[in-house]
A and B are shown apart, each in its own frame.
Chain A
């Protein structure tokens, strides 16, 4: 009987691995102080793969197996998650944390597993000749800073010479990311830039906002995360700072960032790398995944900002898998083949429409030299009475003339520090 049981267990294990060939780890954070942002992203990421399994039988005939691992947005736990899941045949990692990304870049490069750090992580990873295994399409932090300034230029008749901009930022490597870009853009366009660091986690910001009240900048740009966002929006409302002149980056522009401030947050603006609207694919997810009891969550997050971003990230991964399958002529691809699929990825308007999410992101293509995509982002605005972020602009192109040299210089420094000879694989 014991032998029968062992044989059955081995058979079950073998069946399990054979029927789920495309392994996608999901380094999620559903617990801890940042869970409010982690849960919708992870739900969207997983639900899209579940839809592909349910509707299409996976990708190219291969089922997708999502392996979720809880990081709690903690860098050490994130690295543990990577180590414990990479052996399962992981095709791509979406670390969803700049801290974890920095730790994983050398590890994933050594292991030959691609990283996709969408709108976060190391900005200069856009240089694919130095960062062969890291991709940060469709946009990065420096793109975001430039998109914000281009939006302000558009708002002010292409003249910011009499304008003052305050950057309120999370006092961390993440929060400091846009400073260099904004300084360059300040010199180029003549606007006055002042910097206001906020000590993490950011529950107490009274001094910062008293200073802003005194200095009265025309615009406040925020690079926040977690509780810092909710407190900043509340404090801005408290000092009657005009919400339409307050622009968060894309990690400071989800529903949970604005709802605690209630009606006072109405008009708050934020960047986004993906457009929020009622896509047909969301209806399919609702009927074929959520209603079928296969959702990663209870379905309450469907359509929210970070849910759509997670779904968008999953779509980009799925398209890269399909691309890799086509390039290599096999359905059960390896991580190295996945990298090829990502490096030759092309996202078009027509394809997004075909997928039931027309206009969700910019159209872009990836290449060996450019792992960063088009860098475009849009501005959305919070409508408190309807409880939704509404797109305010179309996708805005960043100032590549300023950003490209910065990326090049940072990537070159990284290559020199790490003894990397830039080139394509």
Chain B
């Protein structure tokens, strides 16, 4: 096999894995939109906030220490202990559940029945508020996230494939972190689907997603379900924050990963978990292959805009996305 062909395969594999990372972000959007019709602009900031909280808890950082020091003239920064990663993840999950309750109780419960654009505006406000709270709570320096995730290319894969394409082929490069992200994403999706299919709360969540007024009429608590859905979106945000934060450190630009999810949602549909996965994979592979094959001819840096072009092409033919609910207009 020619080296060029093998490098094309390498790009395809890496595109699939990048797609998994995009899908992780898109999943959070889908969960909330499906259950409540809210397009949550704050999903990227939730990923940032969750990752900041995880690192802060692990390092034993005192929340709001800068604020406390500024007001009281103290010099507090750390509690003096560190927390094991697993325990810190559980604490962070508890914080995200608390956040879900606060958001629902103080914001969205009061906006039930409002136009989607009002709800969307509320999430924009929420995004900026949460970013500010994250800054005040944990500071704006870049934090190193070390929960034992592997980094670097897999030497096993490289050594196994190095001879396939002659001396110009150096073996496949597969990022170990991407491999872990793929496994984690697969487990997460299976767990979410199992939760939705086989648990009472999951079935209630699906009922609310189908018709929240009908669900209300059979005694399902909408308040509980919406808090549950925001909590699950918080869990997905934490996973996305960890995976992306491990690549770049936990920093405020992490909130921009939401931009990577938008074409995935346009393509996969806003209401389908499998759509988010397949959409992520198509976007990941599409943008990487385009950059590999066409990018050098037109100056490169095509990935961001090409993802949107690809999504737009799909939209023209299937406005509800690949897996979105079919739009039926009755006259």
Q: Report which A residues bind B (CB closer than 8 A).
A: 30-36, 39, 171, 195-199, 201, 203-204, 206-208, 210-211, 213-214, 226-227, 230-231, 234, 237-240, 256, 259-262, 264, 293, 298
Knowing A259-B142, A264-B152, say if A230 contacts B69 (CB, 8 Å): no
Is the CB–CB distance between B142 and A230 below 8 Å?
A: yes
Is the CB–CB distance between A199 and B303 below 8 Å?
A: yes
Is the CB–CB distance between A197 and B299 below 8 Å?
A: yes
Chain B 300-330 interface residues, beta-carbon cutoff 8 Å to A: 300-305
Is the CB–CB distance between B251 and A36 below 8 Å?
A: yes
Q: Tell me, rounded to whole Å, the shortest Cβ–Cβ distance linking B309 to chain A.
A: 13
Residue ID in chain B nearest A254 by CB atoms = B142
- B146: A residues at CB distance < 8 A: 262
> How many angstroms between the C-alpha atoms of A239 and B304 in the bound complex?
23
Q: Tell me, rounded to whole Å, the shortest Cβ–Cβ distance linking A20 to chain B.
A: 22
Which of B10, B146, B173, B304: most chain A Cβ within 10 A? B173
Cross-chain contact of B292 among A196, A207, A260 (Cβ < 8 A): A207
Is the CB–CB distance between A210 and B303 below 8 Å?
A: no
Say what secondary structure dominates the interface of chain B. Answer: helix
Is the CB–CB distance between B251 and A230 below 8 Å?
A: yes
Is the CB–CB distance between A260 and B249 below 8 Å?
A: yes
Q: Tell me, rounded to whole Å, the shortest Cβ–Cβ distance linking B54 to chain A.
A: 14
Residue ID in chain A nearest B295 by CB atoms = A207
Is the CB–CB distance between A204 and B300 below 8 Å?
A: no
A-B contact count (CB 8 A): 120
Segment at the interface with A among B94-102, B202-210, B252-260: B252-260
Cross-chain contact of B247 among A234, A240, A293 (Cβ < 8 A): A234
> How many angstroms between the C-alpha atoms of A234 and B245 in the bound complex?
12
Cross-chain contact of B140 among A30, A198, A208 (Cβ < 8 A): A30
B291 interfacial contact with A, CB 8 Å: yes
> How many angstroms between the C-alpha atoms of A231 and B303 in the bound complex?
16
Is the CB–CB distance between A260 and B248 below 8 Å?
A: yes
Is the CB–CB distance between B252 and A35 below 8 Å?
A: yes
A210-B292, A237-B152, A259-B249 known; 8 new pairs, CB 8 Å cut-off, are A32-B252, A33-B251, A199-B303, A201-B253, A207-B295, A230-B142, A239-B173, A259-B144
- A230: B residues at CB distance < 8 A: 142, 248-249, 251
B115 interfacial contact with A, CB 8 Å: no
Is the CB–CB distance between B18 and A206 below 8 Å?
A: yes
> How many angstroms between the C-alpha atoms of A284 and B91 in the bound complex?
42
Is the CB–CB distance between A36 and B142 below 8 Å?
A: yes
> How many angstroms between the C-alpha atoms of A237 and B145 in the bound complex?
16
Knowing A197-B301, A230-B248, A260-B248, say if A31 contacts B135 (CB, 8 Å): yes
B34 interfacial contact with A, CB 8 Å: no
Cross-chain contact of A210 among B10, B145, B151 (Cβ < 8 A): B10
Residue ID in chain B nearest A259 by CB atoms = B144
Is the CB–CB distance between A298 and B18 below 8 Å?
A: no
Is the CB–CB distance between A210 and B253 below 8 Å?
A: no
Is the CB–CB distance between B175 and A238 below 8 Å?
A: yes
Is the CB–CB distance between A213 and B135 below 8 Å?
A: no
Is the CB–CB distance between A36 and B303 below 8 Å?
A: no
